Structure 1
């Protein structure tokens, strides 16, 4: 390669890197939608191929059907859950005096047991000053969620329409041998599908099991806390304990010792084991991913991609380890 060719090659690489960084930073607000489109694409890809190759549907019609399926299976359930939550919150008995009395009673109990005054002026000032920021955060997230839903459906449609061209182009770009390309693609498919199916399924199962315990042991608004327990399962290691442990403390503080001990035992013996058993079954059925990859992957993914990080965090970590293994086999041990 002469000097001119080297200049052209490295100049092109530099341009690609600079423009890539610029585009990456500007596309950051849309990452959740793009990753959501990729997730749904991998889930419906075989159905798309079946409709086109077996049933001879046109690309546009098949893509429209897959978009409809995504809306029915993804957007409608989420909208229904949000509506139920809002409806539940609206139907709560908003007796301000009663709530203030209860909060004051709990604060007095905490001060009596620990000597710490929860309702001192500094704490109240901190809570008051944080409320506007919390409101802006929620409003921003609702707006961001709506934009990413539109982005997801828009990107998904064109991914389905140009399926063959996109897959061929990306396949050729992968810097691996033919055998390793297949391994990487299989890993991506396996982890995305297992997390996209397994995590929501585990969340629903554990949320329902938790809600049953809340009903049995007299927790106020068990439906609301059961719903929140579904989301708590996303957080590795701690998971649904973020919900049931404070509720146990609350029952102790209000003097319901029997209910508190019962909820604690129920959560340790039943709720936790349902989670462990469910993860074990799903790992064997969908993807035999090491638990540490899932745990650290979720932590990394949530900080990088937000909610979609629960799927793509473990994926990134798994692909990294797979690439390290490929390098070891091909260049350190000389195995092709």
Structure 2
């Protein structure tokens, strides 16, 4: 073998050290898998509260412990309790899995029979009906079982969060110095991650709660069955792009019509299509567009993965993980490509922000 073809000792050491780091990281993650949602949650809330934490500690000269506790309490009331309320409501209503599946089967059969009698189209064959029931049962059981661990996740999350908020400069210094990346890419990850977290932790829950509350009014007005349960299901379904809340209220409307309550069923359908749909568009095109434009597929696959891994907390963590993985792929290309920073990956500077504000005004 020629000297030119020999692997340098530096590369051997580099690969060996990287392998050791990966093995140790995998070992740590495997044994502390229970706390992964807690770490993700702590990082999420830290990013949301970061600006206010620096303001209280550095400008208002608050004690670190005081600002940390105040922000933790505020995040608990504003961010965690609404999500926990929806999850707890679904657990309470759907806690008896066998009774729930019996009602769901009756509900599904009623819709199927009505559509078949009206248009003669077998929308779901018997085999597909069985598969759908089985899939819904397995998914709901897995999601609910994951949610039972929510209290443990929240307690450990706030334990971790306290130490992040108490010494934020030290925490960020450790993260930035530990990242084996160029400084520009570290800044890129920080900026993009902040936008992703704000969009998922603030934007998506606000849209979900907004649609759920507006739909709840319609459920009460038109006498839908179990309106409070439908509120929780609508809020959860509204987080799914494209189909959104329609996956809940359209079957409910068909069910009401099939039960003979045609007037209320059609009224609820019109209300949801117009009012709830308008609420969805209004919130998405105002709030979410200002935060970060997340591709719908990221949200869909993120929610599926997140619900399976983390229960209802995965509604937020799942899309963040998918988006962050794609961001790391972009950073990898930027870090090791021969080109300079690609145009779509550059960090916004003051001129960019000024130009963006001018465009918004125009």
**TM-score between the two structures when normalised by the length of structure 1:** 0.76
Structural RMSD (CA):
4.4
1:219 corresponds to 2:224: yes
Q: 1:49: how far off? A: 1.2
Q: 1:56: how far off? A: 2.1
Q: 1:207: how far off? A: 0.7
Q: 1:201: how far off? A: 0.6
| 1:104-163 CA distance string (max 9 Å, x none) | 9889868867999xxxxx99x999999998997577434421221112111111222342
Q: 1:182: how far off? A: 2.1
Contact 1:228 1:243 in 2 (8 A): yes
Aligned equivalent of 1:254: 259
Matches within 5 A, 1:1-336: 8-78=13-83, 137=142, 140-299=145-304, 301-302=306-307, 306-320=314-328, 322-323=330-331, 326=334, 330-331=338-339
In the alignment, structure 1 segments of 5+ residues that lack a partner are: 117-121
Distance change (3 Å), C-alpha of 1:51 and 1:4: same
In the alignment, structure 2 segments of 5+ residues that lack a partner are: 1-5, 122-126, 344-362
- Secondary structure of residue in 2 paired with 1:220: coil
- Secondary structure of residue in 2 paired with 1:169: helix
- Structure 2 CA distance, aligned partners of 1:276 and 1:64? 36
- Secondary structure of residue in 2 paired with 1:331: coil
Alignment length, in residue pairs? 325
Contact 2:334 2:341 in 1 (8 A): no
- Structure 2 CA distance, aligned partners of 1:225 and 1:156? 33
Contact 2:240 2:299 in 1 (8 A): no
**TM-score between the two structures when normalised by the length of structure 2:** 0.71
Contact 2:214 2:276 in 1 (8 A): yes
- Structure 2 CA distance, aligned partners of 1:74 and 1:314? 21
Distance change (3 Å), C-alpha of 1:15 and 1:35: same
